[in-house]
Structure 1
């Protein structure tokens, strides 16, 4: 899929917003981002994974009608699909948009559902990147749960980033693993059922395995490959690839 040229002044907008909210809390950044006219129309993208409920809860507290885009790759664990329904109902989210790959694209690109065995990048492009790009059309910005402690390019991320044709908002950029855990405990939020079974980072079923004691939390994602990202995150027009660290 060819990349679109960045919107003029997108970087300047991100810089101005970071200057304005640099010393704000995660909740404050999220609250302001959903109402600041310089940000524009906003959607949240959530995997409903191991840590997703923290940010989803925060969004629900600010505005339960915020559009939440959930990418159903049609290769997710049944536990993830069930968890998405449970969390959405518990938090009272009123605009969860379940996005799936285009049926015709799947017919031509992966008719036997085995593309992941030959080319995981192509599979992610077909089942995640392309559907998400379509789902984000019409939005000026999108919210992610990315955090600095996840390492690599994320180590220096700001609350607001230029992301090709729109802004990316990272309210939890400065949170630590303890911050995430404490928030979930203090707010009595439901855990993804696979976490208790050794899955601290959860993606599609064929490409996610349980993690053994002492292994990195992301060791079960695309095990045995150099791949560590699905491809939906870009910096300066390039897909972000990070060394495996904590986080989902």
Structure 2
């Protein structure tokens, strides 16, 4: 079974490249960051999206630069049906032409989680099986990837850089500096459709068994793995 996060020890060349790009793009607008990233890694860059409550913003920004940019979507087999419907809505609305739905290997699921209760007994192992391993395989061949993390979302993300080294790849977080106000403003400006569960108390959405409603005043990701002492799924853990 695949263990650990995607991030491996970065080599000196990748770290130097990331530092160079961070110095140049660390305070740039999301639009400029995305345009520079897609231009620098044309044909070798992908966007990883959960198609969650805020995902439409980054997908829209990337589609404005190049709607043919490959988009990797992890279907763990435990997602809300509303998320799958929302994925299809956004694909059509934004004109995305290369959305690739990833799934865990069936043989690995039968061996490691035959009864589909691994999320309850070992949530880290479940995420490794259903998210980390499939994404690691899908990222092979790409030199860079874009993700939607933001500093305001969680304590683990407060020092998030715009550009960082991720093994031998470069990872871009164009929306790192944006807060909830900027996200909502972009939704309104572009008339983007909202995730069907956003208005029902789900500001951050993952797998159905591990996602609960968030109470007023709670952290935006408080409903993820509630009571498990877990904050991240593992794909961004070095």
> Shorter-chain TM-score: which interval?
over 0.9
SS in 2 for 1:190: coil
Report if aligned partners of 2:154, 2:221 keep a CA contact under 8 Å in 1.
Answer: no
Alignment gaps of 5+ in structure 2: none
Structure number with higher relative contact order (C-alpha < 8 Å, ≥ 6 residues apart): 2
1:121-161 deviation line (CA, Å, top 9, x unaligned): 00000000000000100001110111122343422222210
Report if aligned partners of 2:154, 2:220 keep a CA contact under 8 Å in 1.
Answer: no
Please report how far the alpha carbon of residue 96 of structure 1 lies from its aligned counterpart in structure 2 after TM superposition.
0.1
Structure 1 pair 57/51, CA: closer, same or farther in 2 (3 Å)?
same
CA distance in 2, matches of 1:27, 1:122: 36
1:246 corresponds in structure 2 to none
Please report how far the alpha carbon of residue 13 of structure 1 lies from its aligned counterpart in structure 2 after TM superposition.
0.2
2:218 to 202, 215, 227: 215
1:191 to 194, 219, 230: 194
| Pairing 1:9–2:13 present | yes
CA distance in 1, matches of 2:151, 2:202: 21
Range 21-30 or range 58-67, more displaced: 21-30
CA distance in 2, matches of 1:49, 1:84: 9
Alignment gaps of 5+ in structure 1: 239-248
CA distance in 2, matches of 1:219, 1:18: 29
TM-score between both structures, scaled by the size of structure 2? 0.93
CA distance in 1, matches of 2:103, 2:14: 28
Please report how far the alpha carbon of residue 35 of structure 1 lies from its aligned counterpart in structure 2 after TM superposition.
0.6
1:26 to 20, 24, 30: 30
Give runs of aligned pairs for residues 61-210 of structure 1, distance below 5 A.
61-210=64-213
Give aligned pairs, total: 234
1:244 corresponds in structure 2 to none
TM-score between both structures, scaled by the size of structure 1? 0.90
Tell me how large the CA RMSD over aligned residues is: 1.6
1:89-111 deviation line (CA, Å, top 9, x unaligned): 11000000000001111111111
Range 16-25 or range 64-73, more displaced: 16-25
| Pairing 1:225–2:228 present | yes
